[in-house]
């Protein structure tokens, strides 16, 4: 039984560590506060959640596990509330979210799924093989 508890504990601890690293990279790489809040939320709920569950497996049925359950419940309650409050305060201060329409896309770029108009010279898209008359 102790091997199973240790194995589950290590799986949860490693999974939590992976989510924390992914969330940290997201906080660094994302362009604005709103997307960074999403990355930080992943770190809070998933990363810390898995780490706490892994520690619960290590603690067994004891008072430590009960305390970790309370910490996990508080974390899952307070993290979304604080993220929401921070996002609302940022919107109230006048900062707007980053939109993909704000990106400057060069004319030569081809975006999958986007319909391109006919060129100014009247030529159709070269990829489709159609010609206009």
| pLDDT score at 132 | 52
**Mean pLDDT over the full length of the chain:** 82
In three-state form (DSSP H/G/I as H, E/B as E, the rest C), the secondary structure along 8-52 is HHHHHHHHHHHHHHHHHHHHHHCCCHHHHHHHHHHHHHHHHHHHH
- What residue segments make up the domains of the chain, in order of their start? 2-98
pLDDT average, residue stretch 93-113: 69
Give the length of the chain. 133
Asked which of 2-11, 15-24, 119-128 is least confident by mean pLDDT, the reply is 119-128
**Residue 40, token pair as written in the block:** 């930080």
pLDDT average, residue stretch 82-109: 78
Give the residue from 48, 26, 50 showing the smallest Cα distance to 39.
26
Q: Please state whether the predicted TM-score (pTM) of the whole model is above 0.85.
A: no
| pLDDT score at 33 | 86
**Residue 70, token pair as written in the block:** 């309370």
| pLDDT score at 71 | 94
| pLDDT score at 16 | 94
Please, are residues 60 and 21 in contact by the beta-carbon 8 Å criterion?
no
């Amino acid at each position: 039984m102790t091997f199973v508890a240790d194995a589950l504990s290590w799986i949860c601890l490693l999974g939590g560590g992976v989510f924390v690293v992914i969330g940290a990279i997201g906080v660094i790489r994302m362009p604005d506060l709103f997307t960074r809040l999403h990355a930080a939320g992943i770190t809070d709920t998933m990363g810390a959640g898995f780490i706490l569950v892994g520690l619960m497996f290590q603690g067994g049925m004891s008072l430590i596990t009960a305390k970790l359950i309370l910490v996990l419940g508080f974390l899952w309650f307070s993290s979304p509330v604080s993220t929401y409050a921070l996002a609302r305060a940022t919107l109230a201060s006048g900062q707007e979210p980053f939109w993909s329409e704000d990106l400057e896309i060069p004319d030569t770029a081809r975006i999958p799924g986007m319909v391109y108009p006919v060129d100014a010279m009247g030529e159709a898209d070269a990829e489709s093989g159609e010609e206009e008359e």
